[in-house]
Amino acid sequence: MTGFRSSVVYQIYPKSFYDSNGDGVGDLRGVIEKIPYIASLGVDHVWFNPFFPSPGRDNGYDISDYCAIDPAMGTMEDFEELVEALGAHGIGVMLDMVLNHTSTEHEWFRKALAGDERYQRYYYLRDPKPDGSLPTNWVSKFGGPAWEPFGDTGKYYLHLFDRTQADLDWHNPDVREEVAKVVNFWRSKGVRGFRFDVINLIGKPEALLDAPEGTDDRAMYTDGPDVHTYLQWLSEQSFGQDADSITVGEMSSTSIQACIGYSNPANHELSMVFNFHHLKVDYEDGQKWTLKDFDLAALKRLLGEWALGMQEGGGWNALFWNNHDQPRALDRFGDADRFRYESATMLAAAIHLMRGTPYVYMGEEIGMSDPGYTTIDDYVDVEARNAFAELVDAGHDEEEAFRIVHSKARDNSRTPMQWDSSAGSGFTDGTPWLQPTNQAEVNVAHEETAGRILPFYKRLISLRKSTPVISEGDYEPYAPDHPDVLAYIRRHEGRRLLVICSFRGHETEIDVPEDFLDGEVFVSNYPARPLRPRLSLSPYETLALLV
């Protein structure tokens, strides 16, 4: 394992990676069987989405026991074997810590509901307003109000997500002690990597107030000042004691300034942060469930602002296009039909050569794209199904409502890993929990023997380890006003790398600085040709020149 600046993290959604026993659901033994493939990528860490016991209302992000393995996923012995087997290849394990909320099936919530006052203080329980209305006007991120009746007590509990995900009250020192115990339990199993889910929501104020009319209620509970205090305390009590720890915080609706604080080493909080602003450039008026072409100018501006802002403040970005909560980037920002190889490799270069730590989501490295689903019944995710119902209720016909959901659904990235062209995509001998659709054209077996996307990813991963200008260099935007191209320059100890990425399916031109014309063509997804001051770029071309 290398330092996190020169590392690459591979994300596995265990439920969809590889099914070892034919029940249609991926499991830990399946991951163990595929370790040779994971090691062949050259990655340094594997981030696993939750595989803890869970009712599954939010695909494992509703945890009922933080210190056990969901029986559908395997056993603790399987997990221990997995840590050891990955470690033999120099690959660390990164676990998903969902510490903003628990499942309502968790022992703490069940004890609270049974009347135990100690555990009632673990959650945000509030009386209705004097007029009988809900404690605040906050809206759940999954739709509907963020409050649910707490049994027959007359009180309500807060749930910023599904009603079965009750928010923990971190103001209570007992809660903080409990979550530190959770992190330390997994440290005792050899885990040195932790990804903290929506961690900037743990600093909600003690007095929960209505959002003023016409304002976004997220401002009332996001990036509160206590988040820094709590993260510093958690670091001191747990992962901060490990010299080789790597941590990343998922930051919901956050700011550059807040994320500088979370990831600046001087603050002793986290190694790096995820933000999602660049993945909202295809939202109409900021609304997810809309149909809109992505805004390249906004995408470039956001990537540039975050790269420069974090650089100036000493923070560090986690870089990504894909994860378990996003549709496939290939469909959003590329062309999976006409230019699958070109747009997949261009998107990879854009992220992997930037300042920050790249994350590769399983299947991205072989060019996986959104499934060819045709009906809402093909989807499992509660968020997609709720959104479809709300769109229909709002007056959309079912066909249009489905097109909108199909463009943004989280299940788009949760379809099984496509190992081969068989009916089950080599993922399972049984019936997959979510159906694959284009495995005949896109699969690991093809990429390993005759593909071009997988080798490109392997080269990018290798280059980060061997090339300090990539892992350590400064970032400077180049040609920021170009209508078709994202470009930037990296600088480190006299070496400079110019990265050019066309986001269009047509030819375009860009001026190349004279001093780069004699440089080394370091990365390219098209055949070599002479460099000229005015360079014509092919569809989705990427080019990196080193001097």
Any idea which residues carry the catalytic annotation? Answer: 197, 250
Cα 362 from Cα 373, distance rounded (Å)? 20
- The first and second tokens of residue 142, run together, are 């999954």
Q: How far is CA 266 from CA 261, 271, 281, 375, 464, in A?
A: 9, 11, 32, 50, 24
- How far from chain centre, in Å, is Cα 15? 16
Spatial contact of 416 and 436, defined as CB atoms under 8 Å apart: yes
Instruction: Say if residue 219 is exposed, middle or buried (CB neighbours under 10 Å; 0-12, 13-18, 19+).
Output: exposed
Query: What b/e sequence results for 184-212 when a residue is b if at least 16 CB atoms lie within 10 Å of its CB, and e otherwise?
Result: eebbeeebbbbbbbbbbbbbbeeebeebe
Cα 71 from Cα 127, distance rounded (Å)? 38
- Measuring CA to CA, which residue among 296, 245, 305 is closest to residue 275? 305
Spatial contact of 93 and 193, defined as CB atoms under 8 Å apart: yes
Strand-pair category, 147-149 with 156-158: antiparallel
CB neighbours of 271 closer than 8 A, spacing ≥ 6? 4, 245, 246, 247, 248, 263, 316, 357
Spatial contact of 307 and 356, defined as CB atoms under 8 Å apart: yes
Total number of residues shown for the chain: 547
Q: How far is CA 177 from CA 77, 94, 108, 170, 311, in A?
A: 26, 21, 14, 10, 33
Cα 263 from Cα 289, distance rounded (Å)? 31
Please give the backbone phi and psi of residue 142, each rounded to the nearest 5 degrees, phi first.
-100, 10
Spatial contact of 65 and 52, defined as CB atoms under 8 Å apart: yes
